[in-house]
């Protein structure tokens, strides 16, 4: 008996709490679905409230108890109303249910169920018949629906089936008390399970609804969006439509995106355009919702304009969800979902659609940003290509000019020198000392110009050489350079040392000879009173060979290290150290043509080390 009493008190507490929660929820929002949900729980709790009132007041009012029983008998009618939110209920079924309820109410008020089995049988037949119809409707909808609605409709089907079973057990127990043992604990357990299951169906807690929404969102992100090989506008829109169809169970899903050029919403595909027009979605309730950026649920029965009602009629719909697709800063479009009969759980559907729209807005905004970046990259790439081609043409023309000029200028320059020397020889007697000095200056300048022209020709020939890259043994290459420079090395008393086993690389051997010859020559030339010492080494650094040519010469000021590789840039006069200022520029050109880089480390009076890299 203690167990039965505990279950009784627990059941009554659940009835009171859940009825209060649903009633408060209705009073806060004042919509018809919440009203009918509150009536369902008040119907289930009617006897409990009356018994609680009688126990608190001590009144003896059997007719109040009968009113509570009539309240319970009203439950099949209310369940039928719930069915009407997601599928049509014929007028015949409604009339039969109303007649059954009226007959049951009269029977309950006029007869004692514990004594009159006929009256109780009438109530049971009515209750089982109408509730059974609701159970079948919930089961069918639960099987055919998707998303959150499927879960809640299944709970509604289970709760209705439990209620029918409970009524049958109670009715038979009252009609045949002598043939049944005391099964009050079983009845209390069925009652508790029924009310809890109804609660999960019609008024589940917010955290549970959010959990169901999270599962739908997770499926959308992982099964739909995550499958996109690339972020494309049409793919994102298509996946959103498919996810909404799956979650809401409607085939009438339309998406309109904001067109910045026309400053209006435009339907995204031809299928939508066959049913709706761009003009329709830019007027009336859709335009108002879009402007205020607030998800909205619209019923055909609501106070709508003629155009809005016509849209619903055209798509044969009773309900419309309008959900803006927008980020905090950017309006992107609107999601339209039309339902033929409506939705029992419209608020959940609207919240879920809003979550879908928000996530899609993020994808669309990312798409817009990436599309802008792609356009910018394409434009930039086009500009770079144009400028590269222009620069290449300019360089080609400049190289051609340098080659032609340096080649063709040599002949007239030789003629100038020859005639000056001829004047000096033939008119030697007539020329005074000053005239001879002038002629010497002119001849010397012409010779320096000839050296510059030859240097320019050598520089221009670096890129015009046959760039035939082969496997080059640099040990042999450096030995060949030393053989070529044997005379100048001996004259200066220089010492040139080389590490053993210099590497083999893919390179152009004549260019390598020119590179080492120029660097060794610099190390020998730029000296004061010391004997020149030059050392050549190499080491492997990741995917490159790094070479070093070190000398003990006069060194280079740190501020001038960047200048020395510029063509015709000289740090000393031609009197101190003769030259054209082109040798290091040629070295830089050779190294860069092999895919490497060259630099120098030095200080005044500290010698110089030239480093360069060649890919291994």
Residue 459 lies in a domain: no
User: pLDDT digits over 84-109, tens only?
Assistant: 887 888 889 989 989 988 888 888 78
Residue 115 has pLDDT above 60, yes or no: no
User: Residues 127, 73: contact at Cβ < 8 Å?
Assistant: yes
User: Residues 33, 149: contact at Cβ < 8 Å?
Assistant: no
User: pLDDT digits over 158-168, tens only?
Assistant: 888 887 787 77
Angle at 569 (CA atoms; ends 563, 575), nearest 5 degrees: 125
Residue 436 has pLDDT above 80, yes or no: no
User: pLDDT digits over 546-575, tens only?
Assistant: 999 988 888 887 777 777 777 666 565 444
User: pLDDT digits over 388-401, tens only?
Assistant: 777 777 666 666 66
**How many structural domains does the chain have?**
3
User: pLDDT digits over 26-65, tens only?
Assistant: 888 787 888 888 888 888 888 877 777 777 777 777 778 8
Q: Answer yes or no: do 157 and 221 share one domain.
A: no
Residue 248 lies in a domain: yes
Query: What is residue 114's predicted lDDT score, i.e. its pLDDT?
Result: 54
- pLDDT: is 305 or 454 the higher one? 305
Q: Answer yes or no: do 217 and 199 share one domain.
A: no
Query: What is residue 182's predicted lDDT score, i.e. its pLDDT?
Result: 66
Sheet with 608-615, side-by-side order of all strands: 495-498, 533-541, 544-551, 608-615, 598-602
Q: Answer yes or no: do 587 and 606 share one domain.
A: yes
Q: Answer yes or no: do 84 and 119 share one domain.
A: yes
Query: What is residue 266's predicted lDDT score, i.e. its pLDDT?
Result: 84
Query: What is residue 401's predicted lDDT score, i.e. its pLDDT?
Result: 61
495-498 and 331-339: which strand pairing? unpaired
Q: φ and ψ at 251, to 5 degrees? A: -90, -10
What residues does 324 pair with on adjacent strands?
A: 334
Q: Answer yes or no: do 199 and 241 share one domain.
A: no
Q: Answer yes or no: do 362 and 228 share one domain.
A: yes
Q: Answer yes or no: do 49 and 188 share one domain.
A: yes
CATH code, domain carrying 93: 1.20.1070
Domain's final residue, options 374, 399, 414: 374
* 514, HSE (Cβ side, Cα atoms, 13 Å): 21
Domain's final residue, options 204, 225, 245: 204
Closest CA to 236 of 366, 348, 145: 366
Query: What is residue 339's predicted lDDT score, i.e. its pLDDT?
Result: 82
Q: Answer yes or no: do 199 and 224 share one domain.
A: no
- 231: CB partners within 8 A, 6+ apart: 363, 366, 367, 370
Residue 127 has pLDDT above 70, yes or no: yes
- Residue found under tokens 């240097």: 455
2 pLDDT tier (thresholds 50, 70, 90): low
Residue 320 has pLDDT above 80, yes or no: yes
Residue 330 lies in a domain: yes
Residue 396 lies in a domain: no
Q: Answer yes or no: do 480 and 573 share one domain.
A: yes
544-551 and 533-541: which strand pairing? antiparallel
Indicate the SS3 state at residue 546.
Answer: strand
1 pLDDT tier (thresholds 50, 70, 90): very low
> How many beta carbons lie within 10 A of that of residue 451, not counting itself?
15
Q: Answer yes or no: do 189 and 216 share one domain.
A: no
Closest CA to 22 of 8, 49, 7, 40: 40
Mean of the per-residue pLDDT values of the chain? 78
Domain's final residue, options 175, 204, 233: 204
Q: Answer yes or no: do 159 and 102 share one domain.
A: yes
Range of the domain at 332: 212-374
Query: What is residue 61's predicted lDDT score, i.e. its pLDDT?
Result: 76
What residues does 325 pair with on adjacent strands?
A: 333
User: Residues 134, 80: contact at Cβ < 8 Å?
Assistant: yes
- Residue found under tokens 């609701």: 134
User: pLDDT digits over 187-229, tens only?
Assistant: 778 778 888 888 888 888 878 877 877 777 777 777 666 555 5
533-541 and 495-498: which strand pairing? parallel
Residue 383 lies in a domain: no
């Amino acid at each position: 008996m203690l167990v039965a009493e505990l279950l009784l008190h627990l059941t009554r507490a659940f009835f009171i709490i859940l009825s209060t929660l649903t009633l408060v929820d209705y009073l806060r929002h004042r919509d018809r679905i919440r009203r009918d949900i509150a009536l369902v729980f008040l119907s289930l709790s009617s006897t409990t409230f009356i018994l609680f009132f009688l126990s608190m007041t001590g009144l003896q009012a059997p007719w109040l108890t009968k009113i509570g029983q009539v309240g319970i008998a009203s439950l099949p009618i209310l369940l039928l109303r719930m069915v009407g939110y997601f599928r049509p209920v014929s007028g015949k079924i409604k009339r039969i249910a109303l007649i059954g309820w009226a007959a049951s109410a009269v029977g309950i008020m006029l007869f004692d169920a514990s004594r009159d089995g006929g009256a109780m049988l009438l109530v049971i037949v009515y209750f089982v018949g109408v509730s059974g119809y609701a159970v079948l409707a919930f089961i069918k909808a639960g099987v055919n629906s998707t998303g959150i609605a499927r879960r809640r409709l299944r709970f509604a089907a289970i709760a209705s089936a439990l209620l029918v079973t409970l009524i049958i057990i109670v009715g038979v127990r009252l009609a045949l008390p002598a043939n049944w043992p005391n099964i009050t604990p079983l009845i209390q357990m069925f009652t508790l399970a029924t009310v809890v299951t109804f609660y999960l169906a019609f008024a589940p807690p917010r955290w549970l609804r959010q959990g169901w929404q999270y599962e739908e969102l997770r499926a959308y992100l992982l099964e739909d969006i995550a499958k996109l090989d690339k972020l494309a506008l049409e793919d994102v829109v298509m996946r959103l439509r498919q996810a909404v169809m799956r979650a809401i169970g409607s085939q009438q899903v339309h998406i309109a995106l904001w067109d910045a050029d026309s400053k209006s919403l435009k339907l995204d595909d031809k299928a939508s355009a066959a049913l709706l027009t761009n003009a329709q979605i830019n007027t009336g309730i859709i335009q108002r919702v879009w402007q205020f950026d607030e998800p909205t649920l619209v019923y055909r029965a609501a106070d709508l304009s003629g155009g809005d009602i016509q849209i619903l009629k055209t798509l044969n719909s009773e309900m419309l969800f309008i959900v803006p697709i927008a980020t905090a800063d950017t309006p992107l479009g609107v999601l339209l979902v039309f339902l033929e009969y409506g939705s029992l759980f419209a608020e959940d559907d609207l919240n879920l659609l809003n979550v879908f729209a928000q996530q899609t807005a993020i994808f669309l905004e990312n798409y817009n940003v990436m599309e802008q970046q792609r356009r910018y990259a394409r434009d930039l790439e086009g500009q770079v290509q144009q400028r590269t081609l222009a620069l290449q043409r300019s360089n080609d023309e400049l190289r051609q000019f340098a080659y032609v000029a340096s080649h063709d200028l040599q002949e007239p320059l030789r003629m100038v020198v020859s005639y000056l020397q001829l004047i000096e020889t033939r008119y030697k007697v007539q020329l005074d000392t000053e005239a001879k000095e002038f002629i010497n200056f002119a001849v010397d300048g012409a010779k320096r110009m000839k050296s510059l022209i030859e240097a320019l020709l050598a520089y221009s020939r670096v890129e015009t050489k046959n760039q035939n890259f082969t496997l080059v043994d640099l040990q042999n290459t450096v030995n060949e350079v030393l053989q070529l420079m044997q005379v100048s090395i001996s004259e200066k008393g220089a010492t040139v040392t080389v590490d053993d086993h210099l590497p083999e690389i893919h390179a152009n051997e004549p260019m390598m000879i020119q590179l080492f010859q120029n660097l060794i020559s610099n190390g020998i030339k730029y000296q004061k009173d010391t004997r020149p010492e030059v050392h050549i080494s190499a080491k492997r650094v990741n995917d490159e060979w790094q070479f070093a040519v070190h000398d003990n010469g006069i060194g280079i000021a740190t501020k001038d290290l960047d200048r020395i590789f510029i063509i015709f840039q000289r740090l000393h006069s031609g009197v101190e150290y003769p030259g054209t200022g082109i040798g290091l520029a040629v070295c830089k050109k050779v190294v860069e043509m092999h895919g490497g880089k060259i630099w120098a480390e030095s200080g005044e009076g500290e010698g110089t080390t030239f480093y360069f890299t060649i890919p291994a």
